[in-house]
Amino acid sequence: MKKTYELTVMALLVAIGTLASQFVWFPAGIAKAYPVQHMINVIAAVSLGPLPAMGIAFGTGFLRNLFGTGSLLAFPGGMIGALLAGYLYQRIGKPWAAAVGEVMGTGIVASLVSVPYAALFMGKAVGALAFVPSFFISSLSGAAIGVILVSSLRRTILNKNNS
């Protein structure tokens, strides 16, 4: 029963992330900012852990690319942040730790990983710090919303799941 619940929550978060990316985005430097993905990464990190959170980011990125609403940068941008968010939340146990992991993972690590990734898979040669402002703004705004939501959810839905 617990695995069914986990898979259902994962599918729901992938669906929300895929749908919301069509409506909630803003230009941020050379890339578009999708704060809902980062919000979902924080929620998934707290409620499910690092690997399911990373799987949700992969699923959302895959569907966004399939539907033409995302770029290949969704993979390193979402997955690295989700993994680090889940890891830091497991180590510290506070929602703010998941947000810090999301911002560090996406805003710093993934933005740097995306430079050779963009050159290899997208044919775009950019400077070493080209993606940092865009990824940082996107992850910071989404992680902040995620902490607010997960703090409310922890008192209601998530506590029922852990009972």
Q: What is the pLDDT of residue 120?
A: 83
Out of 1.10.1760.20, 1.10.510.10, 3.40.50.2300, 3.20.20.210, the CATH code matching 32-158 is 1.10.1760.20
- The confidence band for 121, taking pLDDT boundaries of 50, 70 and 90, is confident
| Residue 96 near residue 68 (C-beta atoms within 8 A) | no
| Cα torsion 139, 141, 143, 145: sign | negative
Residue 159 has pLDDT above 60, yes or no: no
| Residue 4 near residue 65 (C-beta atoms within 8 A) | no
Please provide the average confidence, as pLDDT, over all residues in the chain: 89
DSSP string covering 79-147 = HHHHHHHHHHHHHH-SHHHHHHHHIIIIIIIIHHHHHHHIIIII-----TTTTHHHHHHHHHHHHHHHH
* Mean pLDDT along residues 68-77: 87
- The confidence band for 21, taking pLDDT boundaries of 50, 70 and 90, is confident
- The confidence band for 52, taking pLDDT boundaries of 50, 70 and 90, is very high
Give residue limits of the domains in the chain.
32-158
Residue 124 has pLDDT above 90, yes or no: no
Residue 163 has pLDDT above 80, yes or no: no
Residue 34 has pLDDT above 80, yes or no: yes
> Could you tell me the pTM of the whole model?
0.89
Assigned token pair, 104: 């560090």
- The confidence band for 161, taking pLDDT boundaries of 50, 70 and 90, is low
